[in-house]
Structure formats: C-alpha cells, structure tokens
Amino acid sequence: MPPFSTVASSTLRRAGAAARSRRAVAALAAAALALAPGASLAARRAKPKPAAPAAPAPLLTPAALAVERHVLDNGLVVLLAPDRTVPAVTLWQWFKVGSRNERPGITGISHVLEHMMFNGSANVPPKEYDRLLEAAGGASNAFTARDMTAYHEDIASDRLDVPLRLDADRMASLSLHPEQLASEIEVVKEERRAFTDNDVRGLLDEHLWATAFLAAPYRWPIVGWMADLEAIRREDCVEYFRTYYAPNNCILVLVGDFAPAQALKDIRAAFGGIPRQAPPPPPPNGEPEQRGERRVEVHHPAETVTFMAGYRAPGATHPDVPALDVLVRVLADGPSSRLHRALVMERGLALEADAAFEPTVDPGLVQFTVTLAPGTPAAAGLAAFDSVLARLAADGPDARELEKARNLIEADFVKGLKTNNGRGLQLGLHEHVYGDWRAMFTNLERVRAVTADDCRRVARAVFDARRRTVATLVPAGDAAAAVR
C-alpha cells in the first residue's frame, strides 16, 4: 500500500476521471435524446437535474492499512502491515511491561533491561547486536515508558532475516552477563543524573508524579530511584526477564515491503519455538480518591520559577479522553493557544506554557508546565493559569478553536502514518494500550465527534483544584517565590 498522501491523490485522480467520464456519457445521452426522431420540444428543452453530491468516503480506515493479525501457538501476537512502496521494513516488538510493573526496591529495572537487550544473548556476544544490524544496513532504537517497553529496527526488506534472528535470540536467551549488567546500571544512573537530578523539568516531573499518587505504581520514576538502581541484582533481572519478556507478553509488528504469507512463515520459524510463560500478574493499583490539592516545593539552582500542575486524568479507554485531548490542544498547542496568549503574549507573566497528556492504561495525569518570567512570583503565575482554565471550563472553546484542535489531532495522526516506523508505532501502541489496533481509527472518529459541550463538561470534571497536584521549582535561596 502506498503512503496515505499517495492514496489520497491517486484516489482523487481516479474519482475525477470517473466523474468526467460519467459527465461525458450523460452529455452524449442527452444529445442523442434531443436529436432522436419524434422527440418533443419540451423534452429537448428540459434540463437534467444535477445529482446530489455523494458524501466522500473516509480514506483512513482499517481496510486501507490491510493489517493481518495472527497469534502464534506460544501466544506471540503478530501484526503484519505490508507496503511495497519502498524496499524497506520496520520491525517492532512491544513488551507489555513498564515502570508500573515494578515494585519498590527494583524501580528502574524495566529501563535497565531495555539496555541489556542490546548486550548479549546465547548466540550474539555483548556489543555485537548493533554491529551486526548496522553491518546489514539497519538501525535500531528502543524506549521504556510507564506501560510498555518497545524496540524497533529499520532495515532493507531483503535483510529482514537479520533482525528476526537477533531479536528471537535475545527473547529466548538474554545473557545478562554480570559485568555488562553492572556497566549498564552505571549508564542508567548517569542518565538519571543528567535528565532528572540536574534538569528542572525532570526534577519537577518526578516530584509531581510521586506526590500525585499514593498507591498506584505510576508514582515512581521510569528511570528508577537512585538507591534502587544501586541495589538491583542479577537475580532480580533474571526473574523480571523470565516473567515479562515471554512471547505471550509481546506484540510483534512488521510494516513495509514483504509478502505476508512468507513473513509469517519466517516469524514463526524464528519465534515460534520460544516457550510461553505464565501470564504476569496485573500490577496492584489501590489508588484512593484524591480529596484535596497537593503541593510540593523543589529547591534547585535556577534563574526563574517554574511550576507543573498535574490533574487526575482517566485511563486511555475512558470515553472522556478525546474531549480532554481537544482541551489540551486548545490550552497549550502553539502560539495561538489560550495559555500562551494569556500568560506569555498578553500579560508577560511567563516565558512559556505547555502541556503533556499521554493516555495511560490506568488513570494518570494531564500536566501543564509554566516557566515564569523573571520576577514573576509563583502565586501570581498560578492565579493567572487558573483563570484561563476556569474560563474554558465555564464557556468552552469557540467554534474556531474546536475545529483547529480537532484538525491538529487528526493531522498529527496522519503524519505519523507516513513512514513504516510511524505506522508500526501506532499499531503496536493501540494493540497494547487499547487492546485492538483498530482503535486508532475509532479514537479518531471520537475526536471528530467532540463538541463544545463535551469540552465544558470534561473541563469542569478534570480541572478541579481538589484533584490536582502542583510542583513548584523554587530557585535555590529564594523561598519567597514558593506558592503559598
């Protein structure tokens, strides 16, 4: 299947040609009728009524992607999305394990195992994974999140056998060499120092989630607490790998230039012999209802005050998520968004204001980050921020804002499908988080259906100060800037 932009243009060209052909046939038929012997003057003068335009069929449908879903005998879910446009493929593996599956004492172990997946298996020595893949012209990367750990490789389609062999070997028999494990834990600790301990946003984000949740496993950081990283043992990693890196806890997605029947045969040959494991236990989540605003101060060297406000948000499959996504776009997507206009452009209270909302398996947070202008106290910035949200909850977005937000969401989604890698990301994400890859299309339909009334209702429910947490960065030595 060609890229969506090509599908759209070729479809329009075909539709245009068909319409021109139909008009030509209609004109010839009318002329023939007018010139036919015995035709009445009234008939010759009669003008045909124009046909009502047909509603355009949506181009983005499950049928347009032609995805095949298979489940191997060992429980491995396989999604195949062929696209013969260019001779390349992307292979994704989505393991249903992230920081929410950890426990105190081994926080950060999901991220450590992500690193170890590139550091040796039964038939691939340490540091050889990347060398072998790159020698075949491929490239790889991975990420760890709260709900998942995902790996992907891009490579020429005639070298697909290379990542299949490498990835099956590490799923079946990751080495976890003690010296490599110790080295990678040090790498993760350095990542923590760089992106959390010495980063304003990283510090605030960590304190925000740790304060917002009392019992849910979302309360600890993805990178892990430093003390836990220092205490992780090889035995912990072996048990964690055996539990969560089983084929029946994985979604394999292949997108690009391949024949589905042959690709499925190759995948079954590479992965089919890996034994399934007992299903992992669901993570406990006895998070109580939040009954009042929570605040935390973080003292750190900085030039300006920054605060994050996190509001309790529903899980990904909740029916209010599309409206919440629209609200976030209205508030914080681009220079015409409400927070940027009010806080940055009109009042000059802030240098920037943005938002992050990533739907999660369990209820999570929608969070806003505001970096205040020098001299602006946190209390003044928070009050201005509150007034913007209160007005949106009272009045809802206007028609132009609503249309713009829906268009931005749809445009971002479509752009994300332009590449093999992007399509694989969306397929795997929706298969895991929503339980069905087709949810990527039903979610889009739900966004298109969001109304201003939906936005008002959801804003009043979510943007409630009693259900939020505020983390404020206080420049070191400037306690007066804290929110009181």
Domains 65-271 and 294-481 share a fold: yes
Q: What is residue 229's predicted lDDT score, i.e. its pLDDT?
A: 98
Does 223 have pLDDT greater than 50? Answer: yes
| Confidence label for 476 from pLDDT (cuts 50, 70 and 90) | confident
pLDDT in tens, 252-277: 999 999 999 999 999 999 999 999 99
The yes-or-no verdict on residue 71 having pLDDT over 50 is: yes
Long-range contacts of 475-481 (CB under 8 A, 24+ apart): 475/299, 475/300, 475/301, 475/302, 475/303, 475/304, 475/305, 476/299, 476/300, 476/301, 476/302, 478/305, 479/299, 480/377, 481/305, 481/377, 481/378
Closest to 450 in 3D by CA, of 365, 328, 334: 328
pLDDT of residue 44: 34
Give per-residue pLDDT as tens, 77-105: 999 999 999 999 999 999 999 999 999 99
Does the pLDDT of residue 3 top 60, yes or no? no
Map residue 294 onto helix, strand or coil: strand
Pairing of strands 149-156, 139-144: antiparallel
Give the residue with greater pLDDT, 477 vs 231: 231
- The pLDDT value given to residue 11: 29
- In terms of pLDDT, which residue wins out, 12 or 372? 372
* Six token digits for residue 320: 């209010």
Q: Which helix or strand (DSSP H or E) is residue 142 part of? A: strand 139-144
Does pLDDT of 40 surpass 50? no
Position with higher pLDDT, 464 vs 24: 464
* Helix 378-395 × helix 321-332 angle, to 10°: 130
56-65, 108-117, 261-270, 388-397: which has the minimum mean pLDDT?
Answer: 56-65
More confident site: 237 or 42: 237
pLDDT higher than threshold 90 for residue 287: yes
Average pLDDT over residues 28-47: 35
Higher pLDDT among residues 66 and 343, named by residue: 343
Mean pLDDT along residues 374-397: 97
| Alpha helices by DSSP H, 232-277 | 234-244, 260-271
At 124, the pLDDT band (50, 70, 90 cuts) reads very high
Give the residue among 416, 78, 418 at the shortest CA–CA distance from 258. 78
At 318-353, the pLDDT tens digits run 999 999 999 999 999 999 999 999 999 999 999 999
| pLDDT at residue number 56 | 52
List of residues 6+ apart from 269 with CB closer than 8 A: none
pLDDT for res 63: 76
> Is domain 65-271 given the CATH code 3.40.50.1370 in the classification?
no
Question: Does position 49 have pLDDT exceeding 80, yes or no?
Answer: no
Q: What is the pLDDT of residue 64?
A: 77
Per-residue pLDDT, 62: 78
Cβ within 8 Å of residue 307, ≥6 positions away? 204, 369, 370, 372, 378, 381, 382, 470, 471, 472, 473, 483
Q: For residue 188, is pLDDT > 90?
A: yes
Which pLDDT value is given to residue 238?
A: 98
Q: Express as a percent the part of the chain with pLDDT over 90.
A: 84
- For residue 371, pLDDT over 80 is answered with yes
pLDDT at position 477 over 80: no
User: Residues 290-308: pLDDT tens digits?
Assistant: 999 999 999 999 999 999 9
Residue 285 has pLDDT above 60, yes or no: yes
Please give the pLDDT value at position 32: 34
pLDDT at 2: 29
Average pLDDT, the chain: 89
Confidence check: pLDDT of 484 > 80: no
pLDDT at 135 exceeding the cut of 50? yes
Residue 17's pLDDT is what? 35
Cα–Cα distance, 166 to 159 (Å, whole number) = 12
pLDDT number for residue 91? 98
Domain 294-481 part of CATH 1.20.120.80:
no
pLDDT band at 311 (very low <50, low <70, confident <90, very high): very high
> Above 80 in pLDDT, residue 36?
no
Sketch the domain layout of the chain as residue ranges: 4-45, 65-271, 294-481
Pairwise pLDDT comparison (22 vs 143), residue with the higher score = 143
Q: Within its chain, how far is the Cα of 266 from the centroid?
A: 29
Taking the C-alpha atoms of residue 372 and residue 339, their distance in angstroms, rounded to an integer, is 12
Model pLDDT, residue 53: 54
Q: What is the pTM of this model?
A: 0.86
Nearest to 59 by CA among 104, 135, 5: 5
Average pLDDT (188-197) is: 98
Read off the tokens for 54.
């047909």
